[in-house]
Structure 1
Amino acid sequence: MVTADALHCQRDHVAYLAERGAHWILTVKGNQPSLHAQLARLPWRAVPDGARDSDRGHGRREIHTLKILSISTGINFPNVAQALQIRRRRRRLDQPKRFTTETVYAITDLLVHQAKPAHLATWLRGHWSIENKVH
């Protein structure tokens, strides 16, 4: 299982991983504007939460919600099996009424039976944890 940020959301990278039998979860951001727009247009409001957790630390409280859709067509990227929407809602503990919300999209080649929502959420959180320690 390879998790990578938006920099690695490239067709060549996916082909490289597929040749080696690796599975992947890739974050999608502005470097793939067409793909990002396709993911944002999916019917997320109709999708129930697949995983939800909350965390408190560093002077803030965060609530993470993960929604997942199986993809068979309509996403112009190779080997995508599922699309993910991660919504992070944060508030500083010293400002209890002021929330900020960030929505992030990701894609994976894993099929529904290969990874439960909790597994996907754990892999994504693990990736961000490592990335935060590097910066």
Structure 2
Amino acid sequence: MPTALLAGAALALTTLTAPGAQAGEIDAAACSWTVSTPGKSGSYVRSTATTAGCSGSSRWHAVLQWRNFLGGWTNLDEASWSGNTSVSLTYVCTPGETETYRGIIDRSDGQSKISLTRTITC
């Protein structure tokens, strides 16, 4: 799976494309789906989930999470959609707080993609 680093935006994106898919399937060759490594913008932590070139009937779910004090993950924001779009997952963070965040995108067939984690101080 290729990973690209966007210069300037400093967001890591991971794209999954399945070879040999049939037309109309969620994972058709032209279908790509990504979730960005969370970043900070003002008092917000954001991750973006994007689907492109996928069947209009494909179903998606994305989540922004932080690592809790027990070592598990807590959902902060989430979105569900069908077809192709770009969804911003956002959390208003507390000044001075340092947490580790990640983004996840799930497709309706049960496959998931998890972003790199990033520790952010607000």
TM-score normalised by length of structure 2? 0.35
**Structure with more strand by fraction:** 2
TM-score normalised by length of structure 1? 0.32
